[in-house]
Amino acid sequence: MGLPHRVSWKVLGLVLLAAFTTQLTVSSQSAAEVIYHRGIDGDPDTLDPQKTSGTNESKILRDLFEGLVAHDAMGKLIPGVAQSWDVSGDGKTYTFHLRPTAKWSNGDPIQAADFVFSFRRLLTPDTAARYASLYYPILAAEKLHKRLGAGPDDLGVEASDSQTLIIRLERSTPYFLELLALQAAYPLHPGNLRMNGSDFVRPEVLVSNGAYTLVENVPNSHVVLKKNHEYYDADGVQIDTVYYHPVKDVSAGVRRFLAGELHSVSDFPTDQYKSLRDKFGAQVSVAPSLGTYYLAFNTQKQPFSDSRIRNALSMAIDREFLSEAIWSGTMLPAYSFIPPGIGNYGQPAEAAYKAITLIEREEAARQLLRAAGYGPGLQALNVSLRYNESDNNRRTMVAIADMWKNALGINTTLINSDATAHFSHLRNGGDFDVARGGWIADYSDPQNFLFLFQSDNPGLNYSRYRNPEFDDVMRRAADQTDLAVRAQLLHTADTIIARDVPYVPLLFYAHRNIISKKLKGFYPNPVGANATRFMQLTP
């Protein structure tokens, strides 16, 4: 169609220039990088999936890697690298069918043999994987990990072809699929590991298979991830870059959120909960979590090897005060180590003294101390209490020290360090009297709490608790296929822990987040699974 003769070339030029400018603006906006600034509680200890156990690492690794199964935005299990699977009638054989489009970040196809390599590495003793014992349900896994005559070829994980992985179990395990979503079960690129050794986790070296790749890892500053364009669902990933910022001071984290520097933070000062809620409304989230905040006793060290001492110190703690005065109701008092509502279970075993008043408990605690040789006119009991530094932890430990002083006359020395140093000290057998710990369930089953006390779990059994009776009950529970009988056995084990008190349950966790209105798809859930690939950022 021709142009009207009355339209001047000057006007036409202006029209064309305006159209070009509009198109350029739209193109620039569409090409603008979407960056998510995410606050987490501390630096990752390591980004080797099979050597981690912390929640900080799990958040980052969930973006970098993907297992056979994964968690969706609501924390529910969904297919991961495996697009489907079959389970035998006896529940002991799982056959996984891998996605033909699944690739490593370097473009190599992901093969079933990569998972064989990774599970063998996980269960090889020299790897020192902290979660290795979780995978003992796999055929020959325990024997391989404990050097009891089994070799890597005996492990019940095999590739029948490049796209089919078969995992055989020693026994039917109701939570087995949940284990496959944990970071310990993520696959590793065999060639990358063989070529680079322990340096395979370095930025620009790490070959991953998740929605993101590792670009930077600067301790005490940030971890940067970039979108992995080889990921099978890369077109569905809306955020291009993730900056993980370690926030050790939760008050500082809130200030950075207020300043617009962070789109989300994973904690906040509990004494600010009401004021933050008034200011930000639903952006401040407190959601239930399957987790326990506790103290661990060094049961191999006098006098904490005496259960009377441990019981006395536990009884003198006012959990209701901690919950309301310190945590503003964002944590609930805990008298059992296993939180209520756990799957495949009933009512957890609680401390017997829950039913009596605090005054009665304090008197009973003084009697226990006297029986153990401590108190007025006897030996003085001095306690060192270690914890990882944060505002909330500091206030909690100061309150506990005051309770022990006022009720029992105990002098407490507080020792704090950053989270990485604190938990490394506990995992590696460092000396301590009493230490703060916490456990968030990886899957909803009582075994995921009780396995912490097994004597063959040194990396996570901070209390160094050793009880053959407990270990035997846990072994029998592991061999039990009847879920009702299994629950009874686990309750017996739970009761032993409540009696011996190697740990002091203090509070049940809740997930505390502040989430920007600009960030969509961040849904707090009991397992704390919030992969960035399910989120979007709006201007």
User: Can you give 374-424 as a three-state secondary structure string?
Assistant: ECCCCECCEEEEEEECCHHHHHHHHHHHHHHHHHHCCEEEEEEECHHHHHH
pTM value is 0.78
Band (pLDDT 50/70/90 cuts) for residue 31 is low
**Residue 120: closest CA among 104, 140, 102, 105:** 140
CA distances from 94 to 19, 99, 169, 188 (A): 59, 16, 8, 20
Tell me how far CA of residue 145 lies from CA of 456, 476, 499, in angstroms: 11, 19, 30
Please state, as a whole number, how many other Cβ atoms lie within 10 Å of the Cβ of residue 379: 11
State the Cα–Cα distance between residues 283 and 270, nearest whole angstrom.
15
Dist. CA 356–CA 12, nearest whole Å: 89
Please, what is the average pLDDT of the chain?
92
The answer to whether the CB of 440 falls within 8 A of the CB of 289 is yes
Q: What is the pLDDT of residue 391?
A: 87
Distances (CA, A) of 199 to 5, 119, 122, 206: 71, 20, 17, 8
**Stretch (H or E) spanning 143:** helix 141-145
Please count the other Cβ atoms lying within 10 Å of the Cβ belonging to residue 378: 11
Q: What is the pLDDT of residues 251-304, one digit of tens each?
A: 999 999 999 999 999 999 988 999 999 999 999 999 888 999 999 999 999 999
Report helix angle 483-500 to 307-315, nearest 10: 90
Asked if 121 and 113 count as a contact pair (C-beta separation under 8 A), the reply is: no
310's tokens = 């441990």
The pLDDT tens digits for 350-375 are 999 999 999 999 999 999 999 999 99
Measured CA angle at 287 (ends 314, 495), to 5 deg: 35
Contact 162, 111 (CB under 8 A): yes
List, as one string, the DSSP characters of 282-350: GGEEEEEEEEEEEEEE-TTSTTTTSHHHHHHHHHT--HHHIIIIITTTSSEE-SSSSPTT-TT--SPP-
Q: Of residues 203 and 483, which shows the higher confidence score?
A: 203
pLDDT at residue 54, rounded to an integer: 82
Q: Examine residue 502 and say whether the peptide bond preceding it is cis (omega within 30 degrees of 0).
A: no
Going by DSSP bridges, is the β-strand pair 382-388/411-417 parallel, antiparallel, or unpaired? parallel
User: What's the rounded Cα separation, in Å, for the pair 465 and 440?
Assistant: 20
Average pLDDT value for residue range 43-72: 94
Compute the C-alpha angle 453/458/460, nearest 5°.
Answer: 65
Note the pLDDT of residue 25: 39
pLDDT, residue 525, reads 87
β partners of residue 168: 93
Lowest mean pLDDT among 52-56, 352-356, 410-414, 463-467: 52-56
SS3 1: coil
State the pLDDT confidence band at 445, using cuts at 50, 70 and 90: very high
Tokens representing 451? 């396995």
pLDDT, tens only, 113-168: 999 999 999 999 999 998 998 999 999 999 999 999 999 999 999 999 999 999 99
- pLDDT computed for residue 48 by the predictor: 97
